Structure 1
Amino acid sequence: MAESGVRSALFVCLGNICRSPIAEAVFRKMATEGGVVDKWRIDSAATSTYEIGNPPDHRGQACMKRHDVPMRHVARQVTKEDFMNFEYILCMDESNLSDLNRKAKSVKNSRAKVELLGSYDPQKQRIIKDPYYGSDEDFEKVYEQCVRCCKAFLEQNS
């Protein structure tokens, strides 16, 4: 169970090598700069098993480096424990949301609020599209969406 007084957010996408580690890194940097990182447990995970054990996509890492956002992550899959240990599970698209809601139903003591990270976007772009088959510009767009969404989420939950 999460420590008392500590908030928690798990960012989730399909493989945990593109969108969710970017969101995790962006959120961690914002929480650090806001002086509240010690009040948060922050992680990311995948709905699939495709990339378990792999580092973030090199294009995402390059994007984070350009924006001076530290990123250290190894892909893992969402566990049943995550639904009990995280307050928020924030995912990137409808497919992730459907997978997570299905998995949550099989967890007895699920306490996590499962929602789209994009639901916090002030520009109302609810879906953060997978940049895996795209270009550097697609990774940049994911970064920009994550910045907007994470800023709004942190403001609402601090």
Structure 2
Amino acid sequence: MVQKVLFVCLGNICRSPIAEAVFQHLVNEKGLSNNWVVDSAAIGSWHVGKSPDSRARQILKNHNVAYNGKARQIKTQDFNEFDYIFGMDEENISDLNSEAPENPKAKIMLLGDFDPQGERIIRDPYYDNGSEGFEKCYQQCMRSSEAFLNQIN
């Protein structure tokens, strides 16, 4: 059975594309790529059609994780197409819950709820000067995605 997962952040150029890339990388490594459809989206429309922030792309490259997606905004049908929709912070979750249709198929959750180190909120590194926040985001996404996959499979 194919399961579908969508990662969502505010603009879909930092946290959610990193999470998407990490999750896809993990399912590929585990030989589960035929079992998962992985995507990401934004709450807002500011960056639609754009590549992720250069710092996000660099962090993924540093870890040999491939990614070539472009930002898109979440659509109403996503709530019934995906099995899991992961927000990166409480504001994302609030926005997702208010945009979701009644009785959506998708379970809306914080990705960080699966972090074995207990860091529930994946802080937005967009306004950071350097790339340290992007590395931290990558590590959080890796830990949380790994734990989620281990729980689900």
TM-score range, shorter chain: over 0.9
Cα separation, 1, equivalents of 2:122 and 2:91: 11
Counterpart selection for 2:14 from 15, 18, 22: 18
Q: Which amino acid aligns with 1:148?
A: R
Q: Which amino acid aligns with 2:56?
A: G
Counterpart selection for 1:34 from 27, 30, 35: 30
Cα separation, 1, equivalents of 2:77 and 2:103: 9
Q: Can you list the C-alpha shifts for 1:36-75, whole angstroms capped at 9, x where unaligned? A: 0110010000011111111011000000000000011100
Q: Counterpart in 2 of 1:141? A: 136
Q: Which amino acid aligns with 1:59?
A: R
Cα separation, 1, equivalents of 2:64 and 2:40: 19
Q: Counterpart in 2 of 1:116? A: 110
Report the alpha carbon displacement of residue 156 of structure 1 after superposing the two structures with TM.
1.1
Q: Counterpart in 1 of 2:67? A: 71
Q: Can you list the C-alpha shifts for 1:71-98, whole angstroms capped at 9, x where unaligned? A: 1110000101100000000010011000
Cα separation, 2, equivalents of 1:20 and 1:108: 24
Q: Which structure 2 residues correspond to residues 38-49 of structure 1 after superposition, within 5 A?
A: 38-49=34-45
Cα separation, 2, equivalents of 1:109 and 1:42: 22
Q: How many pairs are equivalent?
A: 152
Q: Counterpart in 2 of 1:153? A: 148
Report the alpha carbon displacement of residue 108 of structure 1 after superposing the two structures with TM.
4.2
Counterpart selection for 2:120 from 114, 119, 126: 126
Cα separation, 1, equivalents of 2:11 and 2:33: 25
| RMSD (Å), alpha carbons | 0.8
Q: Counterpart in 2 of 1:83? A: 79
Confirm or deny that 1:55 pairs with 2:69. Answer: no
Q: Which amino acid aligns with 2:146?
A: K
Q: Which runs of 4+ in 1 moved over 3 A?
A: none
Cα separation, 1, equivalents of 2:69 and 2:13: 8
Report the alpha carbon displacement of residue 109 of structure 1 after superposing the two structures with TM.
5.3
Report the alpha carbon displacement of residue 7 of structure 1 after superposing the two structures with TM.
0.7
Report the alpha carbon displacement of residue 144 of structure 1 after superposing the two structures with TM.
0.4
Percentage identity across aligned positions?
51
Q: Which amino acid aligns with 1:130?
A: D
Q: Can you list the C-alpha shifts for 1:10-58, whole angstroms capped at 9, x where unaligned? A: 0000000000000000000000000001100100000111111110110
